[in-house]
Structure 1
């Protein structure tokens, strides 16, 4: 089998103010880094409203549509902006993860990477924040559970910022295990170890500032990997943020590109043991363009190796 790369040019039409870290250049650099890799290239469809309504209420979607500017920019929550193309981009991003789940569960590909923006893991049930509009990773999990009838789906989020949105959206979902590692203290301030979900279905791994990949590896081996094996997911969803890299300007962890490769390889091996290697990964953060593109390429390369 093979690895699918799912993306769409509409994801480049979401524009933020000049100097904003979540820039069009992020996706351009990622796509350039992935260009030489042997991937099945898939055009992301537009998600349907019903897809979004699996995780967000109709009022939230209506409010976003009402706030969409016909020109210029609209500030909707702190550092989160809408431009005229933002909702097309967000619907393509959501469509990418839905398509990825469909392809992986149909056996068309072994695994899939959604190269999309805006990112998603900070979008809560009815709140846009942290550059995010729709909760893409949570949507992938809910689509697998509700549409495909899976019994157990796990989400692993290794972005340096806590995936508060994914946690919020899946807090009451006993069929989903949410595992997130994040620098603490750091924005958005959530992600304490005692935040464990309505059914004990959330595992938070706080990481201290200035810690490095060796500490991450030890914690994943001690806590994350055993928890995944105990849960026995039928699909693994990854929120792939690359801002824990030592060169990232928005945080203070010191992971190397090799750390991202190691973590991906370990997750692929666990997925192979537990769920026939079925993984859908979606792009989250990463704000140093060189570190982002290099680490993302390493992540996808390990997914390709696992699909061979």
Structure 2
């Protein structure tokens, strides 16, 4: 299974938790041996413009964060393209699901998921898409950009127990007929992270179910990194999702 990554994601670019030192190392050090690393490439500005206004793009540029945000967006686009034929995961930062067309907050700058799906759609590579956002926090930016399109479904499960949460995820994925499933993979809802809800094995099952649901119907599947801030468990949780996504094709 391919993992999109770049060494430029290692350096700290701001003071927020998504950019904390050691966060990316905690993930890369725990990636499974079957992960085939692919170098991320920056998204060209014309693809970023599919999701964001010129004013917003210039605001990110003035903060001196354009290059790293464009690299993250490009990594998401690559993972989505790869995901059309085999599951793929993008280890990228900054995250993106709180980035709207005109504004951004929550450690996000460009909406990586929206840019990836709009790119595939604009290039006639997909007709329909499903976004499964498993981050602790609601992906308001993704909804802001994509919700008015009738070709994409967006789901942000929110349940009080693991059992309810996983049942909802299974229901969503079982019902999907989308050409591609994109997972906004936040890991901050883990029982040892901010949300305190999910177990590591849950990420394995989400990855497996998403990949299985997609490829059994001739569709694609990819995931991109969003949140997750407890470095002591983040790597094992990412590895669990990656292993789950790869399992149906093993």
TM-score range, shorter chain: over 0.9
Q: 1:300 aligns with which of 217, 225, 242?
A: 242
Contact 1:11 1:88 in 2 (8 A): no
Q: Secondary structure at 1:33's aligned position in 2?
A: coil
- The alpha carbon displacement at 1:125 in A equals 1.1
> Equivalents in 1 of 2:218, 2:136: separation in Å?
26
Q: Which runs of 5 or more residues in structure 2 are unaligned? A: none
- The alpha carbon displacement at 1:29 in A equals 0.6
Q: TM-score, normalised by structure 1?
A: 0.77
* Counterpart check, 1:241 vs 2:186: yes
Q: 1:59 aligns with which of 55, 59, 62?
A: 55
- The alpha carbon displacement at 1:14 in A equals 4.2
> Equivalents in 2 of 1:279, 1:40: separation in Å?
16
Q: TM-score, normalised by structure 2?
A: 0.93
Contact 1:112 1:279 in 2 (8 A): yes
Aligned to 2:150: 174
* Counterpart check, 1:261 vs 2:212: no
Q: Which runs of 5 or more residues in structure 1 are unaligned? A: 69-85, 182-205
Q: Secondary structure at 2:61's aligned position in 1?
A: helix
> Equivalents in 2 of 1:159, 1:115: separation in Å?
15
Give 1 or 2 for the bigger CA radius of gyration: 1
> Equivalents in 2 of 1:14, 1:165: separation in Å?
23
Aligned to 2:17: 21
Q: 1:32 aligns with which of 29, 37, 41?
A: 29
* Counterpart check, 1:207 vs 2:159: yes
* Counterpart check, 1:289 vs 2:231: yes
Contact 1:14 1:118 in 2 (8 A): no
- The alpha carbon displacement at 1:226 in A equals 4.5
Contact 1:4 1:111 in 2 (8 A): yes
> Equivalents in 2 of 1:241, 1:134: separation in Å?
16
Counterpart mapping for 1:1-308 below 5 A: 3-17=1-15, 20-22=16-18, 23-34=20-31, 36-68=32-64, 86-105=65-84, 107=85, 110-181=86-157, 206-208=158-160, 211=161, 213-221=162-170, 223-228=171-176, 232-248=177-193, 250-251=194-195, 253-276=196-219, 278-308=220-250
